[in-house]
Amino acid sequence: MSLNQRQQPLPTVAKHGLLMSSRASFSAAQPQGIMSSFLLSRSGLLSVLALLLFLVVFVPLPGRRPMFALFYDDGPVSRWKDYTVARAAGFAARNDTLIVTSVSEPFLPLLNNWLISIARQKRQDQVLIFAEDYATLYEINRRWPGHAVLVQPAPDSQTAHDYGSQGFYNFTSRRPRHLLQVLELGYSVMYNDVDIVWVADPFRYLEGDHDVYFADDDVAVKPLNHSHDLPPPGTNGQTYVCSCMIFLRPTRGAKMAMSSWIEKIQNEPWSENTQMNDQPAFNFALNKTAGEVDLYLLPQAAFPSGGLYFRNGDWVERTRGLHAIVHNNYIVGLQNKIQRFKEYGLWLADIHTDESPLGRI
């Protein structure tokens, strides 16, 4: 049966607008044959391969950088590899004061959450990030030029190391050296762990003109008018100050405390038996230098530990309006921290990325 015999009569508009004659159909098929012959030819294959190479190199996948950016960036890679702490601090400091943290690539989502909370207090411009791997250094400075620096040698920081592990120790043990370097440059510096969220401006609680300000990591509730002296030792004979939140002035006393911290870390490296981290060494340094360094314990209501804030709802209600930062500790694991922030309404990095200088990560 011919095509004309099978075809049902079409509406007039179809006859005039859509229906092609056999001759027209043959003419339309000719370019397809020509295209097939071209693709099967040597020059055609080379053209297709060239197109594919162009797409791979110059067109990024969603959320990824184009491959050519690895070799030619808007700021050359060597520029950031040779970027010094002195130059970075001079760029970011405001009123001779910096806000710093250290971070490796797996923890960039937490970094972004922290940055959004700081941006809400209008202090993001004075942030300096100590990148602990090159991927982090390049990515932050690509998005936010000048706000990240890497101090050699860079540790292996491609894994999200958990508290107590050797990787975690290697990462955190660099902290006092970073801080001492900033102090030697003449800047005051606030250090935060990256799993912190600001709910108010913590600078308003830095009363007086002390050398070292710090927060207690204990879960026991203190009176609102508690002493600001170094806390007494616990049952194990040690204080339990947190190295997560520290403010330092560029004084002889602060530099002495940092040097003592560095020395203690060097004398007690991590082992399977001890599974050390930097915090006991920080407590040791504070106790050792207490007679020569002007120390100040920050108010617990403004700087609670995660063990207090996330586990004592009655206390949170009684002190509402007094909190400055919330530290998401007393929990292990990156995803566990993110989930807990979400449960308490403190995860900002999903729907408030427009407030971050880094954008969406």
147-174 average pLDDT score:
62
Helix (H, G, I), strand (E, B) or coil at 322: coil
Smallest CA-to-CA distance from 103 within 193, 214, 181 is with: 193
Residue 1 CB neighbour total at 10 angstroms: 5
H or E stretch at 58: helix 42-58
Over the stretch 19-33, which tens digit does the pLDDT of each residue have? 344 444 444 445 555
Over the stretch 288-311, which tens digit does the pLDDT of each residue have? 999 999 999 999 999 999 999 999
Over the stretch 106-158, which tens digit does the pLDDT of each residue have? 999 999 999 999 999 999 999 999 999 999 999 999 999 999 999 887 665 55
Query: How does residue 71 score in pLDDT terms, banded at 50, 70 and 90?
Result: very low
Cβ neighbours for 211, distance < 8 A, ≥ 6 positions apart: 248, 249, 251, 253, 254, 257, 293, 294, 295
DSSP codes, 155-211? P--SS-PPTTSHHHHHHHTTHHHHHHHHHHTT-EEEEE-TTEEESS-GGGG--S--S
CB 148 within 8 Å of CB 80: yes
pLDDT at 48: 63
pLDDT at 35: 52
Over the stretch 210-264, which tens digit does the pLDDT of each residue have? 999 999 999 999 999 999 999 998 877 789 999 999 999 999 999 999 999 999 9
Residue type, 91: F
